[in-house]
Amino acid sequence: MSDLDLSSAVRRDPRREWILRNRLHPEHAALAATGAASPAEWLGPNGVTRRDPRAVGFIGPNGIRRIDRSGAQHGAGATPGARAAAADNRQRIEIDDPAFVIAVVPDLPGGRLSSHDRDLLGLARRLADADPTAPGAVVAITFGEHRESDFGGAGVDRLLSLSGERFSGYAPEARLAALGSVEQELTPRHWLLPDSTLGGGELGRRLAARLGERPATGVWQLETAADSDSGWRCTARGAAGSSDIVRPLPRMVLALAECAEPVSDTLHAARPLEAAHSLPEGLARIEDLGEIAIDPAEVALAEAEFVLSAGNGIRDWDGYHDAARTLGAAEGASRVAVDNGFMPRNRQVGATGTWVSARVYIAVGISGAVQHLQGIERCDKVIAINLDPNCDMVKRADLAVIGDAEAILATLAERVAAWRAEQETRHVA
């Protein structure tokens, strides 16, 4: 396209205009993507502003031209670059003199904010920003090293990073002692922790017991309530998730995932905060001896969140075991594979075997007997790899790949291994 002279608005290129008008032209998309190349508005030869109605807007999904007056649109849609630019437009917020403090202790699995953490920070923001004239500050307290760089974007005004060897691993007592001194220093109006199995769920209950606060646990909804002391009312799951308890919001809150919308429009300061006093040294009665190596293939089926299950269609069992190891998936099997002695009985999936509730269940060469399908009812995503496109497993699957199961499995294992290696190097970097 070097023959185009874009600096001159008056010069017209009939061929180009023709291509731009002709959506079927092979070069249409490429030209349209350049956007500004097609001036929608120019000064006519006699000084009158001319508009080309065909040059503005974009073709909608049903083939009709749509005109977007916001000016953000181009024919091929926003590019990633444009999105990044939009993110930078987030409103920056500094709370210098907070009226109160909302303390949040995110789980930071793998050193980064989880979506649960972000939801919780969203909840904290609702509490902090309720009165725009006297906003509170959200203080996030982190233990050990973290790799998160977007605390501000998640809604954190102050960041109290407590680092040190004693917080690493499973150190609930040290963490509890540290939170105890934060309580004395900041006296937060609310303590917010994610109600996760290990992590916030545990630490929060420890803290509640230590502070003598009665927490609301399993909180998933928050409303303002004039009749409540805190001005808020929450809905919390009770009785192992079978009831909803509506109660005034207490000081201590353990909230479920999706308890609030995460922060996305604003960018907070996440100003580092130093602990004023040195943290107390406690006697550790619980000693972490480290994680023990467990072969993912040996993980109990009912507990596994990722299962690679094999059936009649597998011939190369070594290849299958290798793939399961590479993928880090628990091994499962159809009844037939078990009956034929290729897999042990405790690996049988189905109504007559183990009911699995994996996030992802890959069925390789399993046609899908009714009992088997019943056994995977509770799985989130089912992937079928099978030769027969008409089998019941393919009908049940969220994604089905028809073809030679062993070749696909081998390729998949290769790719996962390659991806793993790549992740490793990135971590090191």
Q: Which of positions 17-56 make contact with other proteins (CB under 8 A)?
A: none
Q: Where are the alpha helices (DSSP H) in 352-391?
A: 370-375
| Binding-residue pattern over the window 175 to 214 for other proteins, x denoting contact by CB under 8 A | ----------------------xx--xx--xx-xxx---x
Interface with other proteins, residue 428, by CB under 8 A = no
**Interacting span for other proteins (CB under 8 A) from 29-37, 147-155, 268-276, 293-301:** 293-301
| Closer CB to other proteins, 23 or 210, in the complex | 210
Contact call for residue 130 and other proteins (CB under 8 A)? no
Q: How far is CA 165 from CA 143, 145, 169, 175, in A?
A: 10, 10, 9, 11
- Residue from 55, 120, 253, 336 in contact with other proteins (CB under 8 A): 336
- Alpha helices of 309-404 — where are they, by DSSP H? 317-327, 335-339, 370-375, 392-396
For the bound state, the minimum distance from the C-beta of residue 404 to other proteins, rounded and expressed in Å, comes to 7
- Residue-wise DSSP of 71-98: S---TT---HHHHHHHHTTPEEE--SS-
Rounded to the nearest 10 degrees, the angle between the axes of helix 405-428 and helix 317-327 is: 30
Q: Both ends of the chain: CA-CA distance in Å?
A: 39
Would you say 317 or 419 has its CB closer to other proteins? 419
According to CB under 8 A, which residues from 56 to 85 bind other proteins? Answer: 58, 61, 66, 68, 70, 72-73, 77-78, 83
Nearest to 31 by CA among 51, 49, 55: 55
Q: Distance between CA 238 and CA 234 in Å, rounded?
A: 12
The enclosing H or E element of 125 equals helix 115-128
- Site pattern 398..427 for other proteins (x: CB under 8 A): xxxxxxx--xx-xxx-xxx--xx-------
Minimum CB–partner distance for residue 12 and other proteins (Å): 29
Question: At closest approach, how far in Å is the CB of 79 from other proteins?
Answer: 12
Cβ within 8 Å of residue 73, ≥6 positions away: 57, 58
Whether 278 contacts 178, CB under 8 Å: no
R_g of the chain computed on alpha carbons: 29
Does 364 help bind other proteins (rule: CB under 8 A)? no
Which residues 229-258 are close enough to bind other proteins by CB under 8 A?
237-248, 258
261-290 footprint of other proteins as x/- string (CB under 8 A): x--xx-------------------xxxxxx
- Is residue 131 at the binding interface for other proteins, with CB under 8 A as the rule? no
Q: Does 387 bind other proteins (CB under 8 A)?
A: no
CB of 370 to other proteins, least distance (A): 5
- Structure-block tokens of residue 363: 């069925």
Q: Tell the smallest beta-carbon distance from residue 352 to other proteins (Å).
A: 6
Is residue 244 helix, strand or coil?
strand
| Count of residues that interact with other proteins, criterion CB under 8 A | 105
Q: Which residue has the tokens 């808020």?
A: 232
Binding to other proteins by residue 324, rule CB under 8 A? no
